Amino acid sequence: MSATVLPGTVVPAQHVNLKLGPGLVQRSDAGEAGPSIITTRTGTLNHSSNGSKWWVESNSRRYVPAPQESVIGVVVQKVGDGFRVDIGAAHSASLDGLAFEGATKRNKPNLKIGCLVYARVSLAHKDMEPELECFDAQTRKSEGFGEVKGGFLVRCSLKMCRNLLDPKHFLLPLLGARFPLEAAVGMNGRVWVNAKEPKQIIAISRCIEAVDPDGGGIDEAGIKAFLGTLDI
């Protein structure tokens, strides 16, 4: 059940444990019915079946950092003990040198300028520099975070990244059935991919661009036909 909304639409969301997702804010108005829920984005309004979770589904290319999201960043500078990483947001993020698994003061990772890291946003506020971590907060183990070597970086829209992270989406299993591949999907519109041969990596990159809602949004049958024309 979804309706297209514009920013500023009042949403009739009422629940005891109401959770508001992206695109919704609560305005503590001194209105007749108390605080009201207003949309801040254009998109489709969705809610969970029991009405406790509401959100607005929209697409864009510019990332706004939010905590607990995994992102792919490019190291741009070494600052004292840590690094400054570009994640495609308004500010560069800071990544502490000790925020890696098994890092101590004597044993810090040696990241070069220009290398890619898969990290988790630990702190994000509107006007502050976001902070990144390269381990899972509870277990303090890397869980796949850290520097990623080789491969290639593909840029796509934010909706495409969310689609790729969805286990029910068709693209990555379809490509994985044809040849072995590795992928790290960042929520900031960047996907790192790796496969054995360059033409396989190029095929993945072109498929992601083709399925991206911004660039046409081809469906499964279209991608199968497209893969047939590529030489892999």
Partner 1 sequence: MRPPSPSIPEKDFLYTSLKESLRLDGRLPMELRTPTLTFGDDLGWVECSLGKTRVLAQVEGKMVKPPPERPYEGIITIHPEISPMASSEYEPGRPSDEEVTITRMLDKVLKRSDAVDKESLCILAGQRVWHIRLTLHFLAVAGNMLDCACLAGIVALKHFRRPDVEVIGDEVTVHEPTERAPIPLAIHHTPFCFTFAFFPDSTIPPVLDPSQLEQRLSAGLISIALNAQRELCVLQKLGGVPLEPDEVLKIVAIAVQKAKELNSIVDARLREDWEGRHVEVR
Please select the residue that binds partner 1; options are 46, 205, 227, 232, rule is CB under 8 A. 205
Residues 28-47 that bind partner 1 (CB under 8 A): none
**Least distance in Å: CB of 173 to partner 1?**
22
Q: Does residue 192 belong to the site contacting partner 1 (CB under 8 A)?
A: yes
Q: Does residue 116 belong to the site contacting partner 1 (CB under 8 A)?
A: yes
The encoded tokens of residue 169 equal 């989406």
Please select the residue that binds partner 1; options are 33, 149, 168, 221, rule is CB under 8 A. 149
The encoded tokens of residue 136 equal 């899972």
**Region of residue 228 (phi > 0: left; psi between -120 and 50: alpha; otherwise: beta):** alpha
**Least distance in Å: CB of 205 to partner 1?**
6
CA distance 152 to 195: 9
Q: Does residue 223 belong to the site contacting partner 1 (CB under 8 A)?
A: no
CA distance 167 to 176: 13
Q: Does residue 148 belong to the site contacting partner 1 (CB under 8 A)?
A: yes
The encoded tokens of residue 165 equal 């992270």
Q: Does residue 106 belong to the site contacting partner 1 (CB under 8 A)?
A: no
In degrees, to the nearest 5, what angle opens at C-alpha 121 toward C-alphas 196 and 9?
A: 110
Contact positions toward partner 1, by CB under 8 A?
A: 74, 76, 86, 112, 114-116, 148-153, 192, 198-199, 201-202, 205-206, 230
